[in-house]
Structure 1
Amino acid sequence: MTTTTATPAPPFGRALCAMITPFTDSGALDLDGAQRLADLLVTEGCDGLVLSGTTGESPTTTDAEKSALVRAVREAVGERASIVAGVGTADTRHTVELTLAAEKAGADGVLVVTPYYSRPPQDAVEEHFRTVADASGLPVVLYDIPGRTGTRIEPDTMLRLAAHPRIVAVKDCSYDFLGTQKVLSRTELAYYAGCEEHILALYAVGGSGYISTVANLVPRQLRSILDAFDAGDTARAALLQQQATELIESTMAAGLPGTVTVKALLNDLGRPAGPVRAPLRPAGRETADGLRSAYERLRAA
């Protein structure tokens, strides 16, 4: 006789958008635009919003802007969606300060990236995350993206961190599927695909969903991949994943940061976005036109 156990509900939902941070034409924080975009994304199927991550231009927003963004988005979405605040920096003390500010502003959790540039060894990485997790009552999502930070959260480090009661999830951009499955098989950490091409693959082996930049553009289409899989229609889930490939590639692998490409298309669609902040530069017209074409083909699929 085979027994099954219920899979724990993902701590922040399944379909999360790594939301861009809208700015006005002059480059100021556009809180009204952020509220309108957040409401649209939740209405279109997002269970949660990740604010002030890489896509949210966290390196060029101030601490005060980050807190104001959490408060504004919470006001817009209420309890309809979870809010995870990006608080990761290369400085443990600063990261703790941002975590406490996010908690005060009304976030449901925090996203903490591996300290970057200084390339700390694994014991220091582990201590950094523990210090942040100990600092507040908020659950923590570890953000493993060595391609940007220069430092991996090694699977053995992840296994040790999983014992902390407030370290509950991982945004996985490690591109190490074996290492990811090793941690999945030995912990209760909720794994979210941070790379859209892995949405279905990670979900199929026990992942909890995704934290997606492309969800700024097509939230309903990406959620439909998970919905089809949950309904037992794995062939349709695979088809939907494949249909999204062109837009994923155009947005995330065309030589420009996802923030730049997403804002280009959102502006073209008349949705809240605005400019990017330097040192990022806006996409050219040819790029925007190519993104619009890929978007329209996916919408028509």
Structure 2
Amino acid sequence: MTTDPARPFGRVLTAMVTPLAEDGTIDLAGAQELAAHLVDRRAHDGLVVFGTTGESPTISDSEQHAVLEAVLDAVGDRATVVAGVGTNDTAHSIEKAQSAARLGVHGLMVVTPYYNKPPQAGLLAHFRAVADSTDLPVMLYDIPPRSVVPIEVETLVRAAEHPNIVAVKDAKGDLGAVAWTKARTDLAYYSGEDMLNLPLLALGAVGVVSVVGHLVGPRLAELVAAVESGDLVKGRAVNEALLPVYTGIFRTQGVILVKAALRALGLPAGPVRPPLVDATPEQLEQLRMDLAAGGVTL
């Protein structure tokens, strides 16, 4: 687990899928196996459990409790386990945060409330309320393609005044806003959009919360290390080699194709839950070609 306050959750984290059995129920043994695989064989400092890639919208609170407990038991002694607890209901988010804290997770991720489109004052009040509810460090998740509302720079500046709000997972695609926020706060930035890993790292992000990390964790660690050491030539080379992987996984919802890839590799994944649908044979064949071009063989 990380002890560096500059990167409170580590360098390379993956937004882990939630393995399911073929009947759609939670596969707790599979979650433990996958978590151990990512930490021990894929160079991960940590895992984000129940981000969007973990299919959080269709996971019940009791299922989340069971999976977090299983993952902590599997890797909690050697990796940072961050629980995604954000919803579009502040009271429910607080309940989920407190439940995760009681289990012993190391941090919380709180997404911008989705669908109800709160104003910036509402976002700030929501984030502060969840951060107040436990003593754990909090990573805000800024993803307007899913939440509609971006977290504006001024809101991030004010949120950063809270002692528990220490990081941002950025999937906003606004590099200027990232630069201004970095200039005005001490928030640790994590790239939350794999295609923008390199530019976000170049702007001062301390790591990644990745989807493709399920498959290429060591290469992401190499990318982070190259940029951190100032070797942008090497960083560009590593990133360019990963472009087919980024493109391949995100031809549709990332969780759909990551689960297809994991199944092809014999790793726990299982199906996705409705309203998502599993990859078609044609999508899987395209994925094989994309990943092969990026050096990953299914």
TM-score range for the pair, normalised by the shorter chain length: over 0.9
8 Å contact kept, 1:68–1:105: no
Give the superposition deviation at 1:246.
Answer: 1.0
Instruction: Give 1:3's aligned residue.
Output: none
SS class of match (1:217):
helix
Give the superposition deviation at 1:230.
Answer: 3.2
Q: Structure 1 stretch 53-62 or stretch 72-81: which is displaced more?
A: 72-81
SS class of match (1:83):
strand
Give the superposition deviation at 1:270.
Answer: 1.1
Q: Are 1:37 and 2:42 an aligned pair?
A: no
Q: Are 1:9 and 2:6 an aligned pair?
A: yes
Looking at structure 2, the residues matched to 24 and 126 of structure 1 have their Cα atoms a distance apart, in angstroms, of 38
SS class of match (2:53):
coil
Instruction: Give 2:266's aligned residue.
Output: 270
Give the superposition deviation at 1:221.
Answer: 1.8
Aligned partner of 1:82: which letter? T
Among 20, 24, 27, the alignment partner of 2:24 is 27
SS class of match (2:295):
helix
Looking at structure 1, the residues matched to 198 and 31 of structure 2 have their Cα atoms a distance apart, in angstroms, of 29
Deviations 1:10-38 (A, max 9, x none): 00101110000000111110111111111
Looking at structure 2, the residues matched to 122 and 236 of structure 1 have their Cα atoms a distance apart, in angstroms, of 39
Count of residue pairs the alignment pairs up:
293
| Consecutive unaligned residues in structure 1, runs of 5 or more | 1-6
Among 91, 94, 111, the alignment partner of 1:93 is 91
8 Å contact kept, 1:268–1:288: no
The sequence identity of aligned pairs, in percent, is 45
Q: Structure 1 stretch 158-167 or stretch 264-273: which is displaced more?
A: 264-273
Among 96, 112, 115, the alignment partner of 1:114 is 112
8 Å contact kept, 2:31–2:67: yes
Looking at structure 1, the residues matched to 228 and 124 of structure 2 have their Cα atoms a distance apart, in angstroms, of 34
Aligned partner of 1:212: which letter? S
8 Å contact kept, 2:109–2:140: yes
For normalisation by structure 2, the TM-score amounts to 0.95
Give the superposition deviation at 1:155.
Answer: 0.7
8 Å contact kept, 1:48–1:83: yes
Instruction: Give 2:153's aligned residue.
Output: 155
Give the superposition deviation at 1:8.
Answer: 4.8
Give the superposition deviation at 1:231.
Answer: 4.0
SS class of match (2:117):
coil
Deviations 1:162-217 (A, max 9, x none): 00000000000111110111000111100000011221211122111110111112
Aligned partner of 1:40: which letter? H
Aligned partner of 1:229: which letter? V
Among 241, 257, 266, the alignment partner of 1:261 is 257
SS class of match (2:276):
coil
